[in-house]
């Protein structure tokens, strides 16, 4: 079974968390001070870039200090009602089993700003009355929705910084030792430096690069320097379209860190431009057609064993179609059109669907007619009449992001959101 190494090798005690010693020490002292009665600062606000160990520090500290940790995520405080549900927990220092308690509100960035009515005030109220330590975490402390937390008398504000590469290296080294992987130090240094202090992504890279291997050399990782996924795809395509043997072509599929459907699209899009002898192109396209048949069959029957044939035909099958010919001159690789249209508009489609659902809830229309018949009018209103737009925003309960989208820009959205406050 595969487990993510970020979970498997997650620090269990703060001694294992790399970097941010001062920040961690400050937090620890504050937590311990609760043993002598409720301190002035009822809450700590940890902030800093993603993947540097904010969440894991709190978890490890709770375990080190044998305290009970109650973790809440953004979805638990979308609304005031949900927040009041856990207000009671904060009113007692000891939990059910007599353990001292910490309440962690993680991923505060996900709390709505202006549009939300009452999430942040509800949280500050709980903190004011709290009898146990509350820890808040967000990436961007300076976001204006957090202004009420900027009071140093009431809140212990702690910044987490990116650990230096040497510290990240230490963590990666430990993981390799535990996993029994023989490594060249240069390889780990390279991964550590590339991560720029994001420990989570460094660990993920390490796992991806050592997949199924027990050693790691500098040459195994140096190509990452160009890790723009496209580059990987381009070398894969080169192997498939110009591979001299079946094996090299087949290996290409292992190399690609894209899924097979994606790889298929790339090969399908590019093959016609790289075979200039018609009979060879016919062979190549036939191989792709067979691969596609198997692909459909796998999807229908879930016989995963057939995937082997999909891979063989779309890689080796295409490579073997070439007799000797080579296109005259250099032919650039193209991005698959089908993926481009889908990926370009995906976030927008999700956003629009969300808006459609909210309109549906209020107006009892189908989502698609909400998008087709109502949204265009909303756009006109949001672009020209911020006051009316503000009213509608409340009525439909649109989020900030949704208002941005409908208003067609952050500046206009700001005006609308301001009108609500
Ligand atoms: N400083 C660190 N030391 C050791 N591991 C870390 C560190 N930072 C992150 N990790 C690894 O990355 C994972 C995610 O870290 P997390 O604490 O959730 O980051 P953040 O909350 O800052 O976004 C952890 O489970 C751990 O495996
Ligand atoms: Mg986190």
Query: What does the pLDDT read at residue 260?
Result: 80
* Residue that has been written with the tokens 């609760």 in this structure: 34
Query: What does the pLDDT read at residue 344?
Result: 53
How far apart are the C-alpha atoms of 421 and 418, rounded to whole Å? 6
Our answer on whether the CB atom of 386 is closer than 6 Å to any ligand 1 atom is no
CA 395 to chain centre: 31
Query: What does the pLDDT read at residue 224?
Result: 61
Q: How many angstroms is it from 12 CA to the middle of ligand 2?
A: 15
* Residue that has been written with the tokens 């059910």 in this structure: 96
Section 91-113 average pLDDT: 81
Q: How many angstroms is it from 66 CA to the middle of ligand 1?
A: 20
Our answer on whether the CB atom of 199 is closer than 6 Å to any ligand 1 atom is yes
Maximum mean pLDDT: which of 36-40, 133-137, 340-344? 133-137
Query: What does the pLDDT read at residue 400?
Result: 92
Domain segments of the chain: what residues?
A: 20-159, 165-226, 229-335, 345-420
> Has residue 222 got a pLDDT over 90?
no
For the CA of 49, the closest atom of ligand 1 is 22
- Written as six digits, the tokens of 51 are 């993947």
CA 48 to chain centre: 16
Beginning with the edge strand found earlier in the chain, give each strand of the sheet holding 134-138 in spatial order: 68-72, 101-105, 134-138, 43-47, 155-159
Q: How many angstroms is it from 183 CA to the middle of ligand 1?
A: 22
Q: Which helix (H) or strand (E) holds 402?
A: helix 400-407
Q: Which helix (H) or strand (E) holds 271?
A: helix 260-274
> Has residue 211 got a pLDDT over 70?
yes
Q: Residue 103 pairs with which residues in a beta bridge?
A: 70, 134
Section 191-213 average pLDDT: 87
Ligand number, closest to the Cα atom of 171: 1
Q: How many other C-beta atoms lie within 10 A of the C-beta of residue 36? A: 7
How far apart are the C-alpha atoms of 174 and 29, rounded to whole Å? 27
Q: Give nearest CA residue, ligand 1 atom 7.
A: 53
Q: How many angstroms is it from 329 CA to the middle of ligand 1?
A: 48
**Is domain 20-159 classified as CATH 3.90.79.10?**
no
Q: Which helix (H) or strand (E) holds 211?
A: none
Percent of the chain exceeding pLDDT 90 equals 54
Q: Give nearest CA residue, ligand 1 atom 5.
A: 17
> Has residue 229 got a pLDDT over 60?
no
362-410 confidence digits (pLDDT tens): 999 888 889 889 999 999 999 889 999 999 999 999 999 999 999 988 8
State the DSSP string of 294-321.
HHHHHHHH--GGGHHHHHHIIIIIHHTT
What is the residue-averaged pLDDT of the chain?
87
Residue 137 near residue 43, CB atoms below 8 Å: no
State the DSSP string of 18-71.
-S-HHHHHHHHHHHHHGGGS--S--EEEEE-STTSSHHHHHHHHHHHTT-EEEE
**φ and ψ of 46, to 5 deg:** -95, 135
Q: Give nearest CA residue, ligand 1 atom 4.
A: 17
Query: What does the pLDDT read at residue 231?
Result: 59
Grade residue 227 by pLDDT with cuts at 50, 70 and 90.
very low
**Long-range contacts, 35-42 (Cβ 8 Å, 24+):** 35/100, 38/93, 38/130, 38/131, 40/153, 40/154, 41/153, 41/154, 41/155, 41/156, 42/127, 42/128, 42/130, 42/133, 42/134, 42/154
Our answer on whether the CB atom of 121 is closer than 6 Å to any ligand 1 atom is no
Grade residue 318 by pLDDT with cuts at 50, 70 and 90.
very high
Q: What angle do CA 130, 135, 137 make, to 5 degrees?
A: 140
Q: How many angstroms is it from 200 CA to the middle of ligand 2?
A: 10
Ligand number, closest to the Cα atom of 14: 1
Our answer on whether the CB atom of 61 is closer than 6 Å to any ligand 1 atom is no
Q: How many angstroms is it from 360 CA to the middle of ligand 2?
A: 34
Which has the minimum average pLDDT: 38-47, 86-95, 161-170, 411-420? 86-95
> In the CATH hierarchy, which top-level class contains the domain 165-226?
mainly alpha
pTM above 0.75, yes or no: no
Section 90-111 average pLDDT: 82
254-293 confidence digits (pLDDT tens): 766 667 888 898 899 899 989 988 999 999 999 999 999 9
Q: How many angstroms is it from 345 CA to the middle of ligand 2?
A: 28
How far apart are the C-alpha atoms of 195 and 203, rounded to whole Å? 9
Which has the minimum average pLDDT: 100-114, 165-179, 386-400? 100-114
> Has residue 245 got a pLDDT over 90?
no
Pick from 7, 163, 199 the residue to mutate for probing ligand 1's pocket: most ligand atoms within 8 Å of its CB.
199
326-364 confidence digits (pLDDT tens): 776 777 777 777 665 555 566 777 888 899 999 999 999
Ligand number, closest to the Cα atom of 61: 1
How far apart are the C-alpha atoms of 356 and 370, rounded to whole Å? 5
């Amino acid at each position: 079974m595969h487990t993510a190494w970020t979970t498997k090798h997650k620090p269990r005690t703060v001694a294992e968390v790399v970097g941010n010693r001062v920040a961690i020490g400050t937090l620890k002292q504050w937590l311990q001070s609760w043993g002598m009665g409720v301190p002035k600062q009822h809450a700590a606000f940890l902030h800093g870039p993603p993947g540097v160990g904010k969440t894991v520090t709190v978890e490890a500290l709770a375990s080190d200090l044998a305290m009970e940790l109650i973790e809440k995520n953004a979805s638990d405080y979308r609304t005031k009602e949900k927040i009041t549900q856990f207000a009671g927990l904060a009113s007692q220092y000891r939990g059910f089993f007599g353990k001292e308690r910490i309440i962690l509100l993680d991923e505060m960035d996900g709390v709505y700003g202006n549009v939300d009515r009452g999430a942040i005030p509800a949280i500050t109220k709980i903190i004011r009355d709290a009898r146990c330590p509350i820890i808040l975490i967000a990436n961007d402390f300076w976001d204006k929705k957090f202004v009420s937390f900027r009071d140093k008398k009431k809140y212990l504000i702690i910044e987490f910084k990116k650990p230096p590469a040497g510290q990240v290296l230490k963590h990666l080294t430990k993981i390799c030792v535990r996993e029994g992987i023989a490594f060249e130090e240069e390889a780990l240094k390279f991964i550590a430096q590339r991560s720029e202090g994001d420990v989570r992504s460094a660990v993920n890279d390490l796992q991806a690069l050592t997949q199924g291997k027990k050693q790691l050399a500098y040459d195994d990782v140096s190509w990452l320097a160009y890790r723009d996924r496209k580059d990987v795809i381009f070398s894969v395509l080169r192997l498939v379209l110009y591979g001299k043997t079946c094996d090299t072509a087949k290996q290409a599929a292992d190399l690609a860190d894209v899924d097979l459907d994606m790889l298929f699209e790339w090969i399908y899009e590019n093959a016609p431009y790289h075979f200039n002898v018609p009979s060879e192109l016919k062979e190549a396209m036939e191989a792709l057609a067979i691969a596609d048949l198997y692909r459909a069959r796998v999807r229908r029957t879930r016989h995963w064993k057939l995937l082997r044939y999909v891979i063989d035909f779309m890689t080796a099958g295409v490579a073997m179609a070439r007799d000797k010919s080579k296109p005259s001159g250099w032919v650039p690789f193209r991005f698959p059109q089908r993926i481009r249209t889908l990926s370009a508009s995906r976030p927008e489609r999700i956003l629009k669907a969300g808006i459609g659902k909210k309109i549906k809830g209020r107006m009892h229309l189908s989502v698609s007619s909400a998008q087709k018949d109502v949204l265009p009018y909303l756009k006109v209103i949001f672009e020209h009449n911020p006051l009316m737009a503000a009213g509608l925003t409340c009525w439909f309960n649109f989020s900030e992001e949704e208002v941005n989208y409908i208003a067609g820009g952050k500046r206009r959205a700001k005006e609308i959101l301001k009108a609500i406050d």
